[in-house]
Chain A
């Protein structure tokens, strides 16, 4: 279920299967592999060599040693904050007590190292019952990839608040990071992590999202720039009735490695999760990896989950790996399913548009923008629509320049 399948078009190539209520069985993806090891102790996580399941797609030699022992004590970056007036954005020290509020325990060596070595943290807090008027943006601009750095972000949406928080990354950096997201009871949070790095950046990040009782979270990982950008997202629930939408968008150019690993832990009853990641790839050596794990524990009665990954391969030489995993430990659910499709650019779509007089380059733009349109709409952040559209245009201009 991996690799480029050049016979399937995006239109027809969706492979899909669903598990309705009563389907109580594992999905044949390896027993209880989704109950995973976690520890704050760096040395409890051996140095990965690249053969491990969690690292088998990752170009280890390009990680600048973040996964081994490269000191993470650099501070070659600037932070810029543009916050809604009702939202608190504070910096704290490494020993800040807000760290760990999400219940997250590092699941790999990079994450454990970032946790141990981050000497600063950023806390974004949306106070109880506050409804914000505009997105709160925290922008990190890396100044150099020479000295590696560690970061820690805690975003808390207190009970019944409603807000949009955007974490933006740009410039050059070798950056290991943990991001904790806590959505308290009844809160509604949209969190966007936007990786628009320079071409030499290496960014290894882990997000953990904890969803409170009847809380709603929309979490998005959007990656355009960077040499290696690997973002893990795990999510669990602290009460019943949580609703999580995990969205992702990426545009991978020649030589770039963009990896997204998701783990949705359905550990409470009557919760929902929907994962939708879409990416476009172009150029030799462009590599996208998406691994979507969903675990439905015995206590997760009446839940519903679906995950979808679609890749649009625009040129030869690009590769997409897409691996959905679903492990079901109770049959008493409303539904669970996944779909994954990787397709070449659909020549029939191009032909159709061209027969209506639309020139080829314009037709390609229409198709690619259309591919991402539903995702951008789902994101529901009007302030980002123009920027994301422009980023797609910029990427398409790269591919047109290469073709001509």
Chain B
């Protein structure tokens, strides 16, 4: 049973006026089969949580622990975390000119599995996953994320989620900037992934809209670097109606 445990996590970034603390003691446990939604206003530290778990060098963990099935995630290099079963769908996927999508996908799959995928099943898997996400087959020969529209980038993140098949997926504002059709396509992809069973999902979002298509088991409200309130799906409805005003005195 996959379990991601975050305990008393404090994270800082370097600024011109010295280190600035962004996460101030986050406690969160995500178990296999669960979908957790993290919601919060801009600047509350939601993305920092995602990037810290993935191991971005910009963020320094000053206190606390992150474990995946008891293994110390914070001691692992970025690529090792991915091979241990963590996946981060980014809000702003990075362009890598000259590296084709198909080459990238095959290289990543080989890396996370520790062996090259069998050619015939791989080609079929890629084709099926692309069809389900309404991605044009010509996409495979394009340069990774280069010149992709916002929607294409997000669908490509979910394509990777489905193909790399991690144990725990963190989705950082995957819904931002998507029109309603693209949002449905992306949400369906996440639901398909979750339906495989044994998968944990941590869904970070600013808006409640995506929660009409992906039903969370738990909703956490993130304010000022820590979790301010926790509840079930009904908490999302409350946020839909009232916004974040009652938490931070802001309507952001």
Spell out A's residues near B (CB within 8 Å): 11, 346-349, 351-360, 362-363, 366-367, 369-374
Contact = CB atoms under 8 A, between A and B. Distances in A.
26 contacts: A347-B57, A349-B94, A352-B90, A352-B96, A354-B77, A354-B79, A355-B54, A355-B55, A356-B112, A356-B164, A357-B82, A357-B83, A358-B108, A358-B111, A360-B78, A360-B79, A362-B111, A363-B79, A366-B99, A366-B104, A366-B107, A370-B96, A370-B97, A370-B99, A370-B144, A374-B98
A83 B97 CA distance: 35
A360 B83 CA distance: 13
B158 interface: no
Q: Which of A11, A351, A372 has the most CB of B within 10 A?
A: A351
Contacts of A358: 79, 107-108, 111
Contacts, number: 84
Given A351-B57, A352-B90, A370-B143, A359 B79 contact: yes
A356 B110 CA distance: 10
Interface residues of B, number: 30
Given A351-B78, A355-B54, A373 B98 contact: yes
Contact of A351 (B56, B83, B97, B112): B56
B221 interface: no
A383 B104 CA distance: 25
Contact of A354 (B78, B99, B160): B78
Q: Which of B56, B77, B79, B97 has the most CB of A within 10 A?
A: B79
Contacts of B160: 356
Nearest to A11: B95
A362 B104 CA distance: 11
Contacts of A357: 79, 82-83, 108, 111-112, 164
Q: Which of A346, A349, A367 has the most CB of B within 10 A?
A: A349
A374 B143 CA distance: 10
Contacts of B90: 352, 355
Nearest to B83: A357
Contacts of B164: 356-357
B93 interface: yes
Interface in B30-83: 54-57, 77-79, 81-83
Nearest to A373: B98
Closest 3 interchain pairs by CB?
Answer: A370-B98, A373-B98, A357-B111
A117 B208 CA distance: 79
Interface of B: 54-57, 77-79, 81-83, 87-88, 90, 93-99, 103-104, 107-108, 111-112, 143-144, 160, 164
B93 A352 contact: yes
Nearest to A363: B79
A359 B111 CA distance: 8
B165 to A, nearest CB: 11
Nearest to A347: B57
B167 to A, nearest CB: 13
Given A357-B82, A358-B79, A360-B77, A372 B98 contact: yes
Contacts of A353: 96, 104, 108
Given A355-B54, A358-B107, A363-B79, 10 more contacts: A351-B56, A354-B55, A354-B78, A355-B81, A356-B82, A357-B79, A358-B108, A366-B99, A366-B107, A370-B143
Given A347-B57, A357-B108, A367 B79 contact: no
A359 B99 CA distance: 16
B156 to A, nearest CB: 12
Contacts of B54: 355
A356 B111 contact: yes
A116 B98 CA distance: 44
B97 A371 contact: yes
B169 to A, nearest CB: 12
Q: Which of B55, B108, B111, B144 has the most CB of A within 10 A?
A: B111
Contacts of B104: 353, 356, 366
A363 B94 CA distance: 13
Contact of A362 (B78, B97, B107): B107
Contacts of A363: 79
A144 to B, nearest CB: 39
Nearest to B98: A370
Contacts of A366: 96, 99, 103-104, 107
Contacts of B57: 347, 351
B94 A348 contact: yes
A367 B99 contact: yes
Contacts of A359: 79, 111
B94 A352 contact: yes
A66 B26 CA distance: 67
A262 to B, nearest CB: 23
Q: Which of B93, B98, B104 has the most CB of A within 10 A?
A: B98
A339 to B, nearest CB: 14
Contacts of A370: 96-99, 143-144
A374 B54 CA distance: 31
A349 B104 CA distance: 12
A11 B94 contact: yes
Contacts of A367: 96, 99
Contacts of A371: 97-98
B55 to A, nearest CB: 8
Contacts of A355: 54-55, 78-79, 81-82, 87-88, 90
A323 B218 CA distance: 57
A369 to B, nearest CB: 7
Contact of A369 (B78, B98, B143): B98
